[in-house]
Chains A and B, each alone.
Chain A
Amino acid sequence: QSALTQPHSLSGSPGQSVTISCTRTSSHVAGYDYVSWYQQYPGKAPKLIIYDVVKRPSGVPDRFSGSRSGDTTSLTISGLRPEDEADYYCCSYTGSYPYTFFGGGTKLTVL
């Protein structure tokens, strides 16, 4: 069982907003305050879309946004598009040493 819990799957219609949650469920991850999000299409490498909880890398649309409340970090996708159908993974890390871990992933379906 992952120390970061995500819903296994979510769905939404084009134009809607969806929010994927990532909840810290283990004290093992305490101190890893930074969270990133990755998008992965089938058969492809993951792509970074959010880092440091709320920041977007260059080139990532502002439809993607991150937030945090307590032990739960969230990825919100606004104005859902068919190309947003993918797997999404949250990840917790530290900037002090090369250690990180992933949530179990969420399969997003655009209906």
Chain B
Amino acid sequence: TQLLEQSPQFLSIQEGENLTVYCNSSSVFSSLQWYRQEPGEGPVLLVTVVTGGEVKKLKRLTFQFGDARKDSSLHITAAQPGDTGLYLCAGIKAAGNKLTFGGGTRVLVKP
């Protein structure tokens, strides 16, 4: 069982549609990160959220950290084919500790 559960595992949508990916845990994290990984490459950090209830926007991407700091969501508005990739959440329990990754959500945006 993963400490961080991501859902759904796979998402296929048409260009222009919206999508939401969830990252849930029963544990509290001091901060949570989201990465995107494209085939043949390593993950690239998109955002770090550190405050319960925090909402961060990055162009068409909106990231939210739950009030209790146990869950997070990533919402993409008007998805584009360039958003295709594996989205990973990763939690940090305390400063300086190792990252724990979720299982990932594979997103396919069809033109």
State whether these chains interact: no
Binding site for B on A (CB under 8 A): none
Binding site for A on B (CB under 8 A): none
